[in-house]
Structure 1
Amino acid sequence: MLPALAEQRWHLPEALPQQEGWEAELNSQEQPLPESLVALLWRRGFRQAKAIAELLDPPAAPAAKRHFPDLAVAIQRLQLACSSGERLAICGDYDADGMTSTALLVGVLQRLGAQPVAAIPSRMEEGYGLNAAMVERLAGEGIRLLVTVDNGVSALEALERAQALGVEVILTDHHTLPDPLPPHLALLHPECTPAKSPYRGLAGVGLAYVLAASLCQSLKRKDGLQVASHLYCIGTIADMAPLVGVNRRWLMDGLPQLAQSPLAGLQALQQVAGLEEKQLDAQAVGFQIAPRINAVGRLGDPQLVVELLTTEDPNQALALARECEALNRQRRDLCSAIEAEAMALLEADGPARTPFLLLAQNHWHHGVIGIVAARLSERFGRPAALLAGEGNGRMRASVRAPRGFAVDRALQACAPLLERFGGHPAAGGFTVKAESVAALHEQLNGLAGLWLQESGAGLPIEPEALLDFEAIDRDFYRQLQRLEPFGIGHPQPLFWSAGCRLVSQRLLRGGHLQLELAQGERTIRAMGWGWQGQADLPALLDVAFRLRLDNWQGQERFQLELAGVKASSGWEGTPELVLRRGAHTYWCSRQGQGWVVRNASGQEISPESAGDQPHPYVSSLLQEAAMALGLVA
């Protein structure tokens, strides 16, 4: 979503080191990266050649048993289940991570001789995670072993009930560990690994994959692990797990094989999503496959996804995928309707926005309010909560927030007003009595107001490296692809380019902005999805963008996916650019191929007048001015 000019708050990155030769030192690969990509990696903390080499080709995963203390106990118990054909339950969650984790273990354990059954609670009727009623039902069916995936560590009541009934539990979870831990036979959790373990970033499906791979290795049965690897890729991307450590290695190995997966369910999902002719990269999984899986957990029965991802019958898979598609269309319609209502409520309050956006309607659907809260947070650059009726005078909420505002800490501060709550810094949820909503909003407004005072209003635009149009070609894009996969912890690069001439602009149906931009002799199309501003832009622009390569009617073309636009400053014939450093203000502007910086007294300095060895403060000031003017990466 592209915010209006007045709502954008641009922050250019830190200046690069002045020492000559640092690029060559960091870029010692056989295929050197372009300067802009080396600059980007340096700003992300890759400041040694070895670190960049490991990003491009991560090391193999170390032996899991050395990193998970309880893994041997879990494997021993599952070996017994497989050898005896035992009936056991895989207890998952209703999001894409939980459903793919469940399908992964069900599929592998079936091949190894056990009789696993999937047990996922209903979002609407039971809520998140393992509960005591589920444990009692499964125990009543003769099940004596539960394996939780993507949940379990906070299910104290359920696990105490399991212990009382003589049901053993293997916990695999990546949510916050409580103190003390609930009763269990074995626990696989990233926080139980050594401090710098490459397994630290695993989502629920990653832990399920560790368990499955270790079990197959112990039984000398590798069949089925390829399918497990593909489910791992889908769940990891869908859950937005950090793409570092083993996540990065396993995704780089698994993603190229995904489009040709033997999984009948994945082939069917590709068909209904129109992806049959395309390679399944991280973006396609995140924006095309994962939403169709998640829609089921939001609106339907998660068992549908488990059946879809474990069936070997292509006809059944296609029928189930079409059910996913129908639920996804319903999810989109619900989101659109709730978002329209939410916007109408905000507009009815006038142009001023509260620091914390909180909106409530009894009829809103619990399964999708989190999506709409995320859209509002992104659109207005402030935390947002949507509340839906739960009955008995209570409301259930989903919360989303921009980077920097800690949702979990905010809810903890409001704990006396809440019935239940939980979450992490970017997202959370809570249940509250309707009579407490006003007091809760007041307290949340106070917390968000303090945060906005410190961080500044508006949506931050934070490009990472300068990229001129003339540098954009097929070779550059190939080098950019070497940095994939992109995701949490290693996002798609955000570039910026300065002094772009506006050739044409067009507002498309749906509120999207299409621009033709020129720089030098090069013209490129740019798209601003969900443009929130006016149609008349300045003639000279600075743009922040992500680079896409589209195939349009058989022809490749580059396109800029805009994240920010602003009037270009500091170019000849345009106003000077203002720099503020502490209590001092400076004005900088271009002069031919160079630049000049002026202080409040009217004194000017340029690289030429500064000499060969300028004072460090002057040197860094000139470098900062050059970056702001778009003269260095």
Structure 2
Amino acid sequence: MLSQPSEQRWQLPAPVQINSELRSSGLSDPLLAALQRRGYQDPEAIAVLLEPPDAPDARRHFPDLGKAVQRLRQACKDHERLAICGDYDADGMTSTALLVGVLRLLGAQPQAAIPSRQEDGYGLNSGMVERLAADGIRLLVTVDNGVAAREALLRAKELQVDVIVTDHHTLPEELPPLLALLHPACTPERSPYRGLAGVGLAYVLAIALARNCRSEQGLAMARDLFCIGTIADMAPLQGVNRRWLMDGLPALKRSGLVGLQALQQVAGIDDAPVDATAVGFQIAPRINAVGRLGDPQLVVDLLTTNDREEALELARQCEQLNRQRRDLCDAIEAEARALVEADGEQRSPFLLLAQSHWHHGVIGIVAARLVDHFGLPVALLAAEGEGRLRASVRAPRGFAVDTALQACSDLLERYGGHPAAGGFTVRAEQLTALHERLNQRARSWLEEQGGVRLVEPEALVNLEQLTSSFWRELQKLEPFGSGHPAPLFWSSRCCISQQRLLRGGHLQLTLRQGEATMRAIAWRWGGGETLPKEVDVAFQLRLNRWNGTEQLQLELAALRASSGDTLLLERSNRHYWVSRDGDALVIRNAAGDELRGQPDLATSGGFHSNHPDNDHPYVQALLQDAAMAMGLAA
């Protein structure tokens, strides 16, 4: 959602001088500037980004891979029944479907065993192990969970059930008993396998098993599911993740998985390319909705069936659950926002809201929306029974959820998470003390950041630069996602020639800059503030497809009133007044001294000025900062 101008502070990037060697990559200066600011300082680093190397031999990176493959090959040879114990998010469900599909093709008799979100909670548990063992299962493979299931793994050992654990969550100090472990943390330091999600580990296991069995059958299907689960889980798009996604995403459109084809159909993208954005915003939510509100077995069946009619019926059930999920989210969000806004100026710095009737499966989504809207950390709680409440926590960048929950551990029954998100269970009588302690941490964090959200554009572009050629260059940097987001551009002094509030609270603008005109969209704007006629905008560039036409548009992240002809620049605790005189910059200090500078076309990013020490680093840096602030520098 677009942050309101009154709630934001822009921090423009430090100017960079584009190394002439970098231009050999064929990318334009705004993209090279963004990459340089991300640490890509030489042509070799950019070349690896554009064309990552092939994945190295996984057997040299995962010490237990050989043992796992040997046990699974025996299961395939003996047509053994075994269980794939997954999780109910998109990563866990795609991981489960991947191994069920591949093992079935190789001769084993796998079955999915995914716990109920409502009844079992997260991960493998002792009750599941006992039920499976009583049913004659002697081999379990966990995907996207297992390392923390100490009691369940001890029970499996007692019942003489072999367990292969594939998981990417935090390793405990002491591992419980298991036959084999595939975990990114067990790979060598700086291994390209370090960023794998659960589905990536399942893919590693499937590849190794198929090759050991001298069978390539089913690996295209496995690669398709790897792509879906990796993007859905927001795994970092580096190392083998990036290589395999670049190989696999172009094939998703013609996937041999009839369930994936059916999902594309119900999502309305059967005529559009299936790229990382389509997976993240169209396919993954429909899979996730099942894990949140329905039976995860539905997704496993959908992604492993060969029957087109069955696939379409199952995909329609996913679509129905997704619509139900959207309705639930909208209703809970409206109720939660009303509760927050009722507090007025007394709003807490940490938004903790509890309602017994809220659905556990969707409160995490709503918490993330509230973070976007209010710019504050949020915990939403729903009743769990017996005087307990279960929460989903989300927070803006900079507020560490995991650290905050650790500091409150004495008040919580269970908790876990990472810096951006987490969850906990708490007794009702501890809520007041918990909220006060979380408020203290949020209050300190807000004071440190000045009480407003930070907008950090990466590269300056003019609207006239946003052509189809620029779009093709930008696509060379895909796929975008966690660890490699789409660049956040900014453009200055754009005139708003038209504006329209769309249904759903979205804002549509027509921006004009010189002779160039672009359409811009601000999702979930919601109205509120009157927009100035001339604005600076921070945005990501998107390709909008509608009724058979394609048009580039700006997806706005922030906007502010343009500075006009003069602005105040603060540097090294000194104040300077900056203005433009044609192509020249005019900078005045508090004493009235004037510095005039113009770009030096013979160098990249340098300036000629009237200062006697023109080449002094401070003078050049001051001119660069002024040019950036006025929208004249990359």
Provide the TM-score with structure 1 as the length reference. 0.97
Identify the residue that residue 86 of structure 2 maps to in structure 1: 92
Q: Does 1:400 align with 2:394?
A: yes
Distance in 1 (CA, whole Å) between partners of 2:475 and 2:191 is: 26
Instruction: Answer with 500-509 or 157-166: which moved more.
Output: 500-509
* 1:158-179 deviation line (CA, Å, top 9, x unaligned): 1111111111111100001110
Q: Distance in 2 between matches of 1:532 and 1:524?
A: 21
> Following TM superposition, by how much is the alpha carbon of 1:382 offset from its aligned partner in structure 2, in angstroms?
1.5
SS at match of 1:259: helix
Residue in 2 aligned with 1:120? 114
Q: Is the 8 A contact 1:108 1:224 kept in 2?
A: yes
Q: CA RMSD in A?
A: 1.2
Q: What is the letter of the counterpart of residue 626 of structure 2?
A: A
- Look up the SS of the partner of 1:563 in the other structure: strand
Structure 2 contact 613–619 (Cα < 8 Å) conserved: no
Contact between 1:383 and 1:405, CA under 8 Å: does it hold in 2?
Answer: yes
TM (norm. structure 2) is 0.97
Aligned counterpart, 2:102: 108
Partner of residue 160, structure 1: 154
Give the match for residue 6 of structure 1.
6
* CA displacement, residues 536-588 of structure 1 (integer Å, 9 cap, x when unaligned): 3112111111112223444432211111110111x43xxx3222234322222
In 2, distance between residues paired with 1:380 and 1:582? 32
User: In structure 1, what is the equivalent of residue 627 of structure 2?
Assistant: 626
CA separation in 2, counterparts of 1:557 and 1:327? 31
Which residue number corresponds to residue 577 of structure 2?
A: 587
How far 1:611 sits from its partner (Å)?
5.3
Alignment of 1:136-151 (within 5 A): 136-151=130-145
User: Partner of 1:491: helix, strand, or coil?
Assistant: coil
Helix, strand or coil at the partner of 1:397: strand
Aligned twin of 2:427: 433
Can you list the C-alpha shifts for 1:410-457, whole angstroms capped at 9, x where unaligned?
Answer: 100100000000011110000000010110000001111111111222
CA distance, structure 2, for counterparts of residue 14 and residue 539 of structure 1 = 27
Q: Does 1:530 align with 2:531?
A: no
Tell whether 2:615 aligns with 1:614: yes
Counterpart CA distance in 2 for 1:599 and 1:184 is 69
Shift of 1:55: 0.6
SS in 2 for 1:488: coil
Tell me, in whole angstroms, the C-alpha distance in 1 between the residues paired with 2:179 and 2:587: 67
1:632 aligned partner, one-letter code:
A
Task: Quote how far apart the aligned CAs of 1:528 are.
Answer: 1.3
In structure 2, what is the equivalent of residue 189 of structure 1? 183
Residue identity in the other structure for 1:297: G
Identity %: 67
Q: Which residue of 1 aligns with 2:593?
A: 603
Contact 1:399/1:428, CA 8 A, preserved across alignment: yes
Residue deviations 1:385-424 (CA, integer Å, cap 9, x gap):
0000001000000000111111111100100000000011
Q: Mean Cα displacement is larger for which, 610-619 or 59-68? A: 610-619
Shift of 1:532: 4.2
Give the count of matched residue pairs: 623
Question: Contact (CA 8 Å) 1:146, 1:167: kept in 2 or not?
Answer: yes
Residue aligned with 2:72, SS: helix
Using the TM superposition, give the Cα deviation of residue 250 of structure 1 relative to its aligned residue in structure 2, in angstroms. 0.3
Q: How does 1:413-492 map to 2 (within 5 A)?
A: 413-492=407-486
Equivalent residue runs for 1:53-452 within 5 Å = 53-452=47-446
- Measured in 1, the distance between the counterparts of 2:552 and 2:294 equals 39
**C-alpha contact (below 8 Å) 2:4/2:529 kept by paired residues:** no
The alignment status of 1:556 with 2:546, answered yes or no, reads: no
Residue 627 of structure 2 aligns with an amino acid whose one-letter code is: A
Whether the aligned pair in 2 keeps the contact of 1:3 and 1:532 (CA below 8 Å) is no
1:487-566 correspondence runs (5 A): 487-534=481-528, 536-566=530-560
Partner of 1:568: 562
Counterpart pick for 1:47 among 14, 38, 41: 41
Q: Please tell me whether the aligned partners of residues 413 and 427 of structure 2 are also in contact (alpha carbons under 8 angstroms).
A: yes
Long gaps (5+) in structure 1: none
Q: Deviations over 1:471-491 (max 9, x none)?
A: 111111111100000000000
Task: Find the aligned partners of 1:253 and 1:377 in 2 and give their Cα distance.
Answer: 35
CA contact (8 A) 2:252 2:274 kept: yes
Bigger Cα displacement from structure 2, 589-598 vs 166-175: 589-598
Contact 1:198–1:245 under 8 Å retained in 2: yes
CA–CA separation in structure 2 for the residues paired with 1:104 and 1:629: 52
Give the letter for the 2:242 counterpart.
R
Q: Distance in 1 between matches of 2:596 and 2:378?
A: 46
Q: Is the 8 A contact 2:387 2:427 kept in 1?
A: yes
Residues 216-270 of structure 1: per-residue CA shift (max 9 Å, x gap): 1111101000000000000000000010000000000000010110101001101
AA at the equivalent of 1:328: N
> Relative to structure 1, is the Cα distance of residues 354 and 549 closer, same or farther in structure 2, using a 3 angstrom cutoff?
same
Rounded Cα–Cα distance in structure 1 between residues aligned with 2:217 and 2:257: 13
- Give the whole-Å Cα distance in 2 for the aligned partners of 1:246 and 1:579: 44
Deviates more, 1:605-614 or 1:432-441: 605-614
